[in-house]
Each structure stands twice: as C-alpha cells, then as structure tokens.
Amino acid sequence: MNSNSLCILGRQPLIGLAELVSLYGSDVQALGQQAAILNRLPEDINFKRLGGSLKLCLIREILPSHVWPDIQSAISNLLSKQIANLPAGKVTLGLSIYNDQITIDQITRIGLSIKQNLRRSGRSIRIVPNVTTQLNSAQIIHNHLTNSHGIEIVIYRDGQRTIIAQTITVQNIASYSMRDYNRPKRDARVGMLPPKLAQIMINLAAGSLPAPLTVLDPFCGTGVILQEALLMGYQAYGSDINSRMIDYTKQNLAWLRLHFDISNLPEPILEVKDATSAKWQNNFDIIVSELLLGPPLTKLPEDKELELIRHRCDQELAGFLKNIAQQIPPKTRLCLAVPAWQSAEGQFIRLPSLDHLHLLGYNQPSFVEHFKPAGLIYARSNQRVARELLIITRN
C-alpha cells in the first residue's frame, strides 16, 4: 500500500497549499489546482488544525493509466480485498472524481459497474448518488463514509496517470459552524474572520515551530484568532484599542471553555492597547492578526475616496510594523490579513507598504516565493474588499 496522503484543497486552493507547505515543507507536492500529495501517512497529519483542506485521503494506488476500464478494474480489485475483511453488514460506497471532464450519468454508470463486480463477493453494496462530480463533507458525514462500513473512493486524474485514494476524514463542518455562529458576541462592523481562515493564518505563522507556542493578536476584535489558537493547544495573548472588543473577546472565550476542552491551557491575556504605539510586556512566539479592512463595499468608490481608505489602512499597517519591530527578535514570523480591493475586472489594488517591507525591517519566508506574483488573496469573485495574507519575518 502506498504510504502517501492526498489532501483535497478548499475554495481557495492556493492558500490551502501554502498552509500545507508552511507546516510540512518539502513533504508537500502540488497536484493540479485542487489537491496536494503529502509524503506522510494520514495519522501523521493533524487534519483538525488544517483550515484549507477539505478531505484527507490515503492513496491506495497510483495507476499508470487514465482509461476508465482500467480505473474501474483497479477500484474493484482494491475494494474486493478490503470488503472481504469487513464485518458482516451493508457497505456504503461513494465516488468523487477530480480533474476530469465527466458527467453525473457517467459516474452513476461507473458506480453501478463497480457495485456489480463487488456483489460477486456476496456483500450488499449501496452507492451514494452523486449530485455533483465530488461528494461534499456533509454528504460524506451523513452517509458515514469514513466509518467501518463506509468507503469514499477519490479518483484524481493527473495527466496520463490516475491517483486512487480513500477518504480518511473530512472537515468538521458542524464544529466550524458552531464556532462561527454560536459565539455570544459577533460584530459585522469590525469584520467576521472565518474560523477556517484564522486556522490557516496561525499555521502560516507557526510553520514547523514546536509547541508550546504563544500567539499574539494585537488587533483581536471579537477573538476569533485567539479562539482558534486555543483549540490548537496554543496559549493566547490579545489586545485591541477598543475596550468593547476586549469585553466581547472575554465573553467569547468564556463560551469556548464551556463547549470545548481547553482546560489544560491558561487563561488568555487580554489588554486594551493601541497596536501602533503599545508595548507588550509578556512573551509571545508568533503574531497573527487581521488589521483594519476599511468599510464594507458593494462596489469600488471613486478614486479619491478609495485612496483615502487605502491610505488609512496603510498607515495602520506601517505604524504597527514599525512599533512591533522594536519588540521582537529576528526571525519572528507574522501572518497578517490586510485589505486588497478587487476591481470589476478582477484586479487587486494593494496597500503601498507591501512593496517596501524591507524598509520597515521585514522579509518574506522563502516558501512564500512559490506563491508570487498572484499572492495569497482570500476573496470571492464578486467581493470588493478582499483579504491579502501577508507572511513576513523580522530581519
């Protein structure tokens, strides 16, 4: 059996790939636009902490063919051996096909063909019907496809070869939803950072640093980054210029302790501070934060108004970077979400300071070079205010 794993990347695949490279380095190999191969067994990957990957799969076979009769035969052979060792009972099978121009009707016929082959072993097989070419996390969870009698086979076409893998686990969508929407304090006016993105940002800053770590969020808002840091087993240190935000964070993290097991971690340090002038007295290892994004926009304003918004956001970024540079040792890594404004043509207007980071005393880690010139931008196609993920280290 192949010892590699396959990660199916999320809606922002470039960001998901960057997260994997930050954590696992040269063990990661990009696979087209939707996936990555990791030279690790699934049990050696802490999937719960990955915000940018939808599925974690064990590669069962890399087939030197892209012809469907060969693929069907290989899947039938693999499953007949696997199913023979399962306890008695009906087996549920799902199929997800990536990087291939295939119709739902074709997938249905392939599934029925595999089912007929497997029924010769005397086992009852149920095929999960495909609505799209890939089953989503909700379908996999609902149909118990990662349990003892459930199997999802992932077929990834890669040029002249085909990767056949089995899904081991998927993102816990119920937990993400709870952490996002059930917190007692949310404030749309200061933005609502998705927990998945907070996880990604922490991983981009932490990289391969060994635990325990303390995460500083100097613009903590309602505490989403601190929340996710605690759930990863890190210590949390937050500050915000707005005392109301510190109160919201306290209430949200108190709620977190009631619903998740973080009893082994100390209470977070929370302080009211202006991040452009404050001095942080306690030690921390990495800095992860979302800065001012400016007002929400349904369309780009006139050039003069946009320039005022951009200038204000850039001043905050530059002021913070100058201030914190005097307080952190060399090589300290930061991951900051800063605004980028998307034009109707899909071009992004970035902050001016991003072109002069070396003058502020910062460099970008070497792995970031792989993701230029596009940059790591978290946005939907119709979203005017996007988040650009800035990953830098102190010189």
pLDDT tens string 53-109: 999 999 999 999 999 999 999 999 999 889 888 888 889 999 999 999 899 999 999
Q: What is the pLDDT of residue 353?
A: 95
Distance linking the first and last C-alpha atoms of the chain: 45
pTM of the entire structure?
A: 0.94
Q: What is the mean pLDDT of residues 291-304?
A: 91
Q: Is 37 found in the same domain as 62?
A: yes
What the block records as the tokens of 40 is: 């690790």
Q: Which residues of 98-129 are buried (b: 16+ CB within 10 A; e: fewer)?
A: bbbebeeeebeebbebbbebbeeeebebebbe
Q: What is the pLDDT of residue 120?
A: 78
Q: What is the mean pLDDT of residues 367-391?
A: 89
Q: What is the pLDDT of residue 146?
A: 96
Q: Is 126 found in the same domain as 228?
A: no
Q: What is the pLDDT of residue 1?
A: 45
Q: Which is more confident, 243 or 281?
A: 243
Q: Is 370 found in the same domain as 325?
A: yes
Q: Is 291 found in the same domain as 357?
A: yes
Q: What is the mean pLDDT of residues 266-291?
A: 95
Report the percentage of the chain scoring pLDDT > 70. 99
pLDDT band at 118; cut points 50, 70, 90: confident
CB-based contact 20:36 (threshold 8 Å): yes
Q: Over 60: is that where the pLDDT of 220 sits?
A: yes
**Considering 171, 199, 215, which residue would you say is the last residue of a domain?**
171
Q: Is 342 found in the same domain as 219?
A: yes
What CA–CA distances, in Å, run from 9 to 18, 28, 57, 195, 350?
Answer: 11, 13, 11, 16, 25
Q: Is 314 found in the same domain as 212?
A: yes
Q: Is 150 found in the same domain as 81?
A: yes
Report the percentage of the chain scoring pLDDT > 90. 83
pLDDT band at 210; cut points 50, 70, 90: confident
Q: Over 80: is that where the pLDDT of 170 sits?
A: yes
Q: What is the pLDDT of residue 3?
A: 67
Q: Which is more confident, 1 or 235?
A: 235
Looking at every residue in the chain, the average pLDDT score rounds to 93
Q: Is 197 found in the same domain as 75?
A: no
**Considering 147, 171, 195, which residue would you say is the last residue of a domain?**
171
Q: How far apart are CA 165 and CA 56, in angstroms?
A: 9
Q: What is the mean pLDDT of residues 332-340?
A: 97
Q: Over 90: is that where the pLDDT of 43 sits?
A: yes
Q: Over 50: is that where the pLDDT of 346 sits?
A: yes
Q: How far apart are CA 336 and CA 171, in angstroms?
A: 24
Q: Is 117 found in the same domain as 105?
A: yes
Plot region of 286 (φ>0 → left; ψ -120 to 50 → alpha; else → beta): beta
Q: Over 70: is that where the pLDDT of 2 sits?
A: no
The CATH number of whichever domain residue 366 belongs to comes to 3.40.50.150
pLDDT band at 214; cut points 50, 70, 90: very high
Q: Is 151 found in the same domain as 250?
A: no
Q: Over 80: is that where the pLDDT of 188 sits?
A: no
Q: Is 121 found in the same domain as 10?
A: yes
Q: What is the mean pLDDT of residues 14-26?
A: 96
pLDDT band at 322; cut points 50, 70, 90: very high
Q: Over 80: is that where the pLDDT of 121 sits?
A: no
Residue 193: domain span:
174-394
Q: Over 90: is that where the pLDDT of 344 sits?
A: no
Q: What is the mean pLDDT of residues 290-318?
A: 94
Q: Is 183 found in the same domain as 107?
A: no
Total structural domains within the chain: 2
Cα three-residue angle 379-18-291, rounded to 5 degrees: 50
CB-based contact 163:59 (threshold 8 Å): yes
Q: Over 70: is that where the pLDDT of 213 sits?
A: yes
The CATH number of whichever domain residue 67 belongs to comes to 3.30.2130
Q: Over 50: is that where the pLDDT of 298 sits?
A: yes
**Considering 115, 144, 171, which residue would you say is the last residue of a domain?**
171
pLDDT band at 18; cut points 50, 70, 90: very high
Strands (E), 171-273: 214-217, 235-240, 269-272
Q: What is the pLDDT of residue 179?
A: 95
What the block records as the tokens of 257 is: 């302790």
